[in-house]
Structures are given as C-alpha cells and as structure tokens.
Amino acid sequence: MLDPAEELIDLLDIERLEVDLFRGKGSGGETTARIYGGQVIAQALMAAYRTVEDRLCHSLHAYFIRAGDPSIPVIYEVDRARDGGSFTTRRVVAIQHGRQIFNLSASFHVDEPGWDHQHPMPDVQGPEGVRSREEERATIVHRLPEKVRADFIRPRPIEVRELDPRDIFDPGPQSDENHLWFRMPAAKGLEPHMQQCLLAYASDMNLLGSSLRPHGLTWYQGRVMTASLDHAMWFHAPLAFDQWHLYTMDAPFTGKARGFNRGAIYGADGTLVASTAQEGLVRPRRRK
C-alpha cells in the first residue's frame, strides 16, 4: 500500500490515451468527498507538460466550471495553441460525464537571462517548533461528528505547519493575512516539471480561506458556501519541494459573494519561487 506522498506522485502520473488526450484518476489527494481543486490543476499542468519539451511553465490561468466527481477518472484534452522560439502555449480542458469541469491555459518559456528583483520574504516564525496540521487536528477531532473524524485526521501527502492556526468552530474576525510552511519530503530528486506540478497542487491550500478570516468564518460552521472559481499561478525560480517553503497569503477584497485572494511562495532561503491569485465563491448559506 502506497503512503499518501507516493499516492500523490502516482496521481500525477496520468495515462496517455491518444497523442493529446490523457486520463487521470479522480480519487485521492486532499479530500475524498470531491476532487480537490489543486489536484485537477496539477493533473492538467502535467497533461500540458506531456506535450512540451525543453522549457518550464512560467504561468498558468485556470477556471473551475463544475465540481469534480472523484468516483470516475478525469479526461484531459490538450490543445497545442502555439510553439514559438521562446514561448509555448497550451490549453487543457478537463472533462467528466461528457462536460467540461475545468480548463487551464499554461505558458512555457525557455531559460533566458534578464534583470532581477523580488520583494523580501516576510519575517515570520520558522517551521521548527510549529505543530503540524495532523497534530493540530488531533486536538480538535473529538468536536466533529464521528462519521467525518477518520477523514479529518487521515494522513495527507503535503506536510503543513500553519502559523497562528484558528479555531475552526469559533475563530472570530482576524486579519486576512496568514502564513503556513509546507513541504513534501518525497519530492526530493524529482524532475523540475514534477516539482512545479506538486507546488501547483499545494497552492490551493488555505488560499480561499484568507477571504473568510476578517468575517470570522470557516468551512466547519455551516454558515458559508465556498468554491474556487479561478486560479492563477506564476513560477519565478527553480524549487525543491522536499524543502520547507513559506506560503504567505492575503485577501484584499471580499464582496458580491466572492473573495479575492493572493499568495506568495518563498523558499526557506528567502527566494520568491511562485505567486498565486484566486477568486472564490463566498456565499452566505441559508439557514433551514
């Protein structure tokens, strides 16, 4: 039996059905109730990579159209939009039950020199001494209905240490800024494109939650309906996801039943390796 990290690597090993047609497993990863958004992002990026040579992704832009069904595979159809001298563009459509559930556009760039600058990494506590997600959840699992406890505390593929974690049942209003450290030791030695796919998978973690923080909301209260609407990501530097990375997030705006969220991902040495942005549904749930 594979451990969660090995399962995730296997999940991203999508099957080629035709030249530009691929199939990925629907079940696995962060949740068993639905297909986790980061999973379909990562699988779609992997499908695009199966049609690209000698260059790495520098940006992706995606839309979530329908909820994914974890009981069946996902079909990924790649459109080779452009192969240029410096840039390659791919469009990927994810299909289940004969309908689009997700689409992604990704751009790939040859490695070339240019001017460099970046914003510094925030001065926050390091991962040492911070309780892991599993340790945090073990302290509160007894407050959940028994039928969901096993899934809540089951091991996940990404090691997460959240700085200043909230009470998921009664958090109270807080700053939209939040930080976590994450890594996946099993990523050691994997190829650069796989490192990017794994980081893309992890980039959906906690991001939408930033727009809930100022309103004292979490998913566990039953007061809010949430869903990722779109997701964008830019890769700035090489990464080794077996090492700790800081994910710093904020939400400049929430309104009109939507929340806008931003993220920056730094290596432990302070290098800005990626940036993210996501808008999500934040809809008040009607009381029955």
| 88 CA to centre of own chain | 23
What does the block give as tokens for 186?
A: 């099993």
Q: How far apart are CA 92 and CA 63, in angstroms?
A: 11
Q: Compute the radius of gyration of the chain from its Cα atoms.
A: 19
Task: Tell me if residue 20 is catalytic.
Answer: no
Beta pairing class for 21-24 and 74-83: antiparallel
* Backbone phi, psi, residue 92, to 5°: -125, 130
| Per annotation, catalytic residue among 39, 195, 196, 278 | 278
Tell me if residue 86 is catalytic: no
Catalytic position from the list 228, 242, 250, 275: 228
CA separation for the pair 228, 236 (Å, rounded): 23
Residue 152 is classified by DSSP as H
b/e map of 240-267 (b: 16 or more CB within 10 Å)?
Answer: bbbebbbbbbbbeebeeeebbbbbbbbb
Catalytic residue chosen out of the listed positions 204, 211, 242, 250: 204
List the catalytic residues: 204, 228, 278
